[in-house]
Amino acid sequence: MDRVTLHGLRVRGHHGVFQREREQGQTFVVDLALGLDTRSAAAGDDLTRTVHYGVVAEEVAAVVGGEPVDLIETLAQRIADQCLTHEAVQEVEVVVHKPEAPITVPFDDVTITIKRSRV
């Protein structure tokens, strides 16, 4: 399985369990690894036989910037579901970073990583 990856997609969202997170929002960072077979696209130099990562980025940004959820686990699942709507994509790994999480001790980042497939 080949992989098309996007790293560091930054989108403002209003996700979290605290009211201030919902009201003020914060930046979420998303990394994606899309699993697909790119041989046909490469052989014919044909975008229609692969996944358009620009379109995927826009769709993921719409999910993150869209309807608020309490958990980054839910957000990651919604992102994975959106990625799997693309016919060429057979599997996806989604990492959602929440670097501004409301934690009272110093930290660098909070992440959730999920893998989903059509099977």
Q: Mind giving me the DSSP string for 50-112? A: S--HHHHHHHHHHHHTSS--S-HHHHHHHHHHHHTTSTT--EEEEEEE-TT---SS--S--EE
Distance, CA of 79 to CA of 92 (rounded, Å): 9
93, part of any domain: yes
83, part of any domain: yes
Q: What is the pLDDT of residue 16?
A: 97
In the predicted structure, residue 99 carries a pLDDT above the cut 90: yes
Q: Is 98 a catalytic residue?
A: yes
63-to-24, 28, 34, 107 alpha-carbon distances in Å: 17, 11, 17, 26
38, part of any domain: yes
State the pLDDT confidence band at 119, using cuts at 50, 70 and 90.
Answer: confident
**Containing structural domain, residue 39:** 2-110
Q: What is the pLDDT of residue 45?
A: 97
pLDDT digits (tens, 9 = 90+) for 57-66: 999 999 999 9
Number of independent structural domains in the chain: 1
29, part of any domain: yes
Q: What is the CATH number of the domain that holds 84?
A: 3.30.1130.10
In the set 98, 104, 107, 112, the catalytic residue is 98
39, part of any domain: yes
